[in-house]
Structure 1
C-alpha cells in the first residue's frame, strides 16, 4: 500500500547542530556540487577548441556527454547505498571530490576520442555519488523546517552559478589565452580545495540510532519495490518527464556552444557569455519556480514551462544580429530548469510516505540520468551528422512539447493547494 507523505521526522542529528553549522554544511555542499558541475560542463564549453584538434564527429560529441551521464547514474545508485552501509558519508564525499578533480586533469591529457571518452566515464563514476551523499547529509544534519530550502540550495545554487554560468566564461577565456588542455588543468584545482575544506570544517554525520530509525513504525513495513512505485501515476509521470527533460538539458549543453560558434558565427567569448545566461537563469528559477509551485501548485508549472522552453531553440535558429536579444530569449526559455527539483524530488516526496522516499527519489533521479542523459546526446549527435547542425534544436522542441503533454496527467500534491481544495493529503 502506498501512503501519503506525512512530513519530516522529528528526530535527527540536526538537534545537536547549531544554525551556524547547518548553514556552513549547506554552503560547502552547494559549493562542492557547483565544482562538480564546473568540471562536468568544462568539456561542453571547451568543445569548439577540442573538436577540431581531436577531429570529433557530432556523434562522438554526443557519446562523450552520454557516457558521462551513464557512469554518473550507475555511481549515484551504488555509492549512495555504500554510504548508507558504511556510515562514512564525509570520507566517501571527500574521496569522490578528489577523484573527479583528477579526472578533469586527465581530460586535459587526451589525445584521441577513446582517451577522452575513458576520462569522462571515470569522471562520471567519481561525480555520481556526490549528490546522493550530500542530500543524505542535509537530511540528517539540517532542521526539517529548512530542509527543503537547504536541499534546493545544495543541489541547485552552486551547480548553476559555478557550472552553468562561471564554467563557460572562465574556461573559454583561459583556453583562448592558453589552450583547452590548460583549461582542464585549471578546472581540476577547485575540487581539491573543496575536499580540504570539507575535511577540516565538516564532521562525519552520526549513524541514526536503531530506535530513531524505527520511530513511527517505519521499520515495521517493507520498502516498496520500483515496480510498485511505478504503478502510481505521479511516479511514472515524473520519471517520463524527467527522462525527456534531462535529455533536453544535457543535449542543449552538449551542442549549443558548437552551434553558436559554427552556425551562428559567434566568437568563443561571446558564446561563453550567452551560455552563461543559462546558468544565471537556472539559479534564479530554481528558487522562484519552486516558490511559485508552492502557491499555484506543482502541476501548472510542470505543464506550462516545458511548452515555454521551445522558445530557446527557436531563438537559436531565428534570432540574428542581436546578441542581447538572443541572451534574453535563452533566459526566458530556460525557466524550464526550475521544474527539475519538482519532478526529481518534490512531487515524489509529496506522493509517497516518508519511509519510501529513498526508493522513489533514487528512482526519479537515477532513471532521468541513465535514460535521458545517456541516450539524448548521442541521438542528437546522430541527427546532426545525418541532417545538419539544426537537427538537435528540433529535437529539443519535441522533447519540451512531449514533456508538457505528459505532465498534464499529474495529480496535484502542493499542500497549500490541496488545503484550499479541502483535501487532507497528497494525491
Structure 2
C-alpha cells in the first residue's frame, strides 16, 4: 500500500511539468534511474550483504532507500501545474468514466497485463534457470541480472527519446518486437556466460517500450488532472492480473515440462503484446500537431 502510489504520482508529476518535446524523455529518464539502482545494483548488493551476513540483514538495508526517498519528496517536490488557469481543476465523474472509454487506455491496460505477465514469468524463473540449467553460481546469476538492469538505465532514455522524434506508436511497435527476442536469447546462449550477457544487454533495449505503454501514451490520452489515476489503474490491473498469472502459469509449465517452458510462455505473451500495439493511436504532440496542421490546410 505504501509502495504502490509512488510511481504513478511521481511519473504523472514529471509528465505534467515536462514540455511536449521532452515528455517521454523525462519520464524515461526517471524510470531509467529506477532500473539502474533497483534492477541493476540491488541484486548484487542484496546478494553480497546476504553472503557476508544473512538475508534478514539484507532486507533491513534495502529498507533504507525508502526513508531517503520519502524525505526528499516531502522536502523538495512541488505540486505540479495541472491547469493553465490559476483555479485548480477538479476532475468530474464523467472524466473518470471517460478513462475506461478511451481506446489508448484500454489497450494500455491490456498490454500492461501482458507486459507484467511476461515480466513476472521470465523474471521469477530466470535466476532458477541460470542456476539449474546454466549451472551458474548465485553470484554469477545475480551479475547477469544486474547487467541486464543497468543497461535498462540507458535504453529507457534512448527509446523514450526516439518516441519524441518519430512518435509513440511506431516506437512501441518496433521495440516491443525486439523484446520478444529476449527469452529466445536466453534459451540459445544460456551455456555461454559472456555471449548471454552481451545479447541481453543489447536486446534489453526492447523493454524501453514499457515507459510508453504504462505512462506516456495513456498519460497523453487523458486530461492532466487524471493522469495519476489512469497510470495507477493500468499498473494496478497489470500487476494484479499479470503478476498473478505470470509466476503461476510459469510454475505449472516448469513443473510439467522444464525450466525452458516459462521462457516460451514469456515469448508467446510478448508476441501477443507486439500485435496489440498496432491498435494504438498516436499521441506524440509533434506528430499529432503536424497532422492537425495538415488537415486544416486541406
Determine if the TM-score, normalized by the shorter chain, exceeds 0.5: yes
Paired residues for 1:287-298 under 5 Å? 287-298=157-168
Structure 2 CA distance for partners of 1:202 and 1:419, relative to 1, 3 Å: closer
Is 1:185 aligned to 2:60, yes or no?
yes
Q: Which of 154, 158, 161 is matched with 2:33 structurally?
A: 158
Structure 2 CA distance for partners of 1:354 and 1:204, relative to 1, 3 Å: closer
Structure 2 CA distance for partners of 1:267 and 1:131, relative to 1, 3 Å: same
Paired residues for 1:10-409 under 5 Å? 125-135=1-11, 138=14, 142=17, 149-154=25-30, 156-197=31-72, 201-202=75-76, 205=79, 212-214=86-88, 218-219=89-90, 222-226=93-97, 228-409=98-279
Structure 2 CA distance for partners of 1:136 and 1:234, relative to 1, 3 Å: closer
Structure 2 CA distance for partners of 1:329 and 1:206, relative to 1, 3 Å: closer
Structure 2 CA distance for partners of 1:206 and 1:284, relative to 1, 3 Å: closer
Structure 2 CA distance for partners of 1:289 and 1:355, relative to 1, 3 Å: same
2:95 is paired with a residue whose SS is coil
**Partners of 1:317 and 1:290 in 2: CA distance:** 28
2:160 is paired with a residue whose SS is helix
Structure 1 unaligned regions, length at least 5: 1-124
Indicate if the aligned counterparts of 2:13 and 2:80 stay in contact, CA closer than 8 A. no
**Partners of 2:234 and 2:252 in 1: CA distance:** 27
Indicate if the aligned counterparts of 2:5 and 2:232 stay in contact, CA closer than 8 A. no
| Alignment root-mean-square deviation, CA | 3.0
1:181 is paired with a residue whose SS is helix
Query: How many pairs does the alignment contain?
Result: 293
1:126 is paired with a residue whose SS is coil
**Partners of 2:272 and 2:80 in 1: CA distance:** 44
Between structure 1 and structure 2, the one with the greater Rg is 1
- The superposition leaves residues 114-157 of structure 1 with CA deviations (integer Å, 9 ceiling, x where unpaired) of xxxxxxxxxxx3311222343466578x5757766554444x13
**Partners of 1:255 and 1:294 in 2: CA distance:** 34
**Partners of 1:186 and 1:318 in 2: CA distance:** 36
The TM-score normalised by the length of structure 2 is 0.84
Structure 2 unaligned regions, length at least 5: none
- The superposition leaves residues 388-423 of structure 1 with CA deviations (integer Å, 9 ceiling, x where unpaired) of 211110111011100111111112222223344455
**Partners of 1:335 and 1:206 in 2: CA distance:** 30
Indicate if the aligned counterparts of 2:9 and 2:228 stay in contact, CA closer than 8 A. no
**Partners of 1:131 and 1:369 in 2: CA distance:** 13
**Partners of 1:134 and 1:147 in 2: CA distance:** 13
**Partners of 1:147 and 1:175 in 2: CA distance:** 39
Shift, 1:260, TM fit: 0.6
- Bigger relative contact order (CA 8 A; separation at least 6): 2
The TM-score normalised by the length of structure 1 is 0.61
Shift, 1:287, TM fit: 1.0
- The superposition leaves residues 166-197 of structure 1 with CA deviations (integer Å, 9 ceiling, x where unpaired) of 01112222223333333223323333444455
